[in-house]
Chains A and B, each alone.
Chain A
């Protein structure tokens, strides 16, 4: 019975991983997660791959820009607003 209450599903484990990341996981659940990760290589992979993904996300970037025409139009608009 103790074992049954201690074993969590992969669905719960992956949710717990997110909560743990934000320090919102209860101590009892932290132990359950720890136990689960000790025996489940798939959830271990989920955890490590997510950490990788999140780390990479911090460096995400884009190179979109306004065209010269759009810049001129926007600047004209600003200048005309200033005169009001």
Chain B
């Protein structure tokens, strides 16, 4: 049986929770607010804690719900941007759908099976994620950081599946190009 020990929450979990939130919402102040809200919500719900999951998992569960609430609010207001995303395909493809000369994928000269551990690489990767428009970033993060199914993402964000594909497609085009430019300097 697990028990709760709120006096130790900050010491034991605040940084882990903060890092989790920051990678997902890309705003440090907001991430800090969400951590505080998580702890306070947890305190209000102490009586509902059954002890069937660990204290840590329970706090993460609350935080995840807070992040989804935040996403949903954002996604509702951002879905109107989808039209501009559709136009953006002109950044990558010509009128018949071929790669434009300027965005043709280039050979990176690496072994793609290798795992890159350099800190510099992750800094660039994070900065590329941050350059995505907010809606693209949210969908991209839910898909690839949280490994969610597209159906689940559509449901949680209240977006249609055709919009989902437009968003994820554009996000990947932009991420690949950003990495090529900033990491490979190509």
List residues of chain A with CB under 8 Å of any chain B CB.
8-12, 14-15, 18-19, 22, 24, 42-43, 45-46, 48-66, 70-71, 74-75, 77-79, 81-82
Q: How far is the CA of A52 from the CA of B172 in the complex (A)?
A: 12
List residues of chain B with CB under 8 Å of any chain A CB.
6-7, 9-11, 14-15, 18-19, 22-23, 28, 31-32, 35-36, 39-40, 43, 89, 92-93, 96-99, 104-108, 110, 112, 115-117, 121-122, 125-126, 129, 144-145, 147, 149-150, 165, 168-169, 172-173, 175-176, 179-180
Q: Once the chains bind, are B39 and A78 in contact (CB under 8 Å)?
A: yes
Which label, helix, strand, loop or mixed, suits the secondary structure of the A interface? helix
Q: How far is the CA of A61 from the CA of B19 in the complex (A)?
A: 8
Q: Once the chains bind, are B126 and A78 in contact (CB under 8 Å)?
A: no
Q: Could you show 5 A-B contacts with beta carbons less than 8 Å apart?
A: A11-B98, A45-B106, A60-B145, A64-B31, A78-B39
Chain A nearest CB from B114 CB (Å) reads: 9
Closest to B110 in A: A52
Q: Once the chains bind, are A18 and B172 in contact (CB under 8 Å)?
A: yes
A15-B169, A45-B105, A45-B106 known; A65 vs B6 contact (CB < 8 Å): no
Besides A12-B97, A46-B176, A65-B18, 12 more A-B contacts (Cβ < 8 Å) are: A9-B98, A18-B172, A42-B105, A45-B106, A49-B105, A49-B108, A56-B121, A60-B126, A66-B15, A75-B11, A78-B10, A81-B40
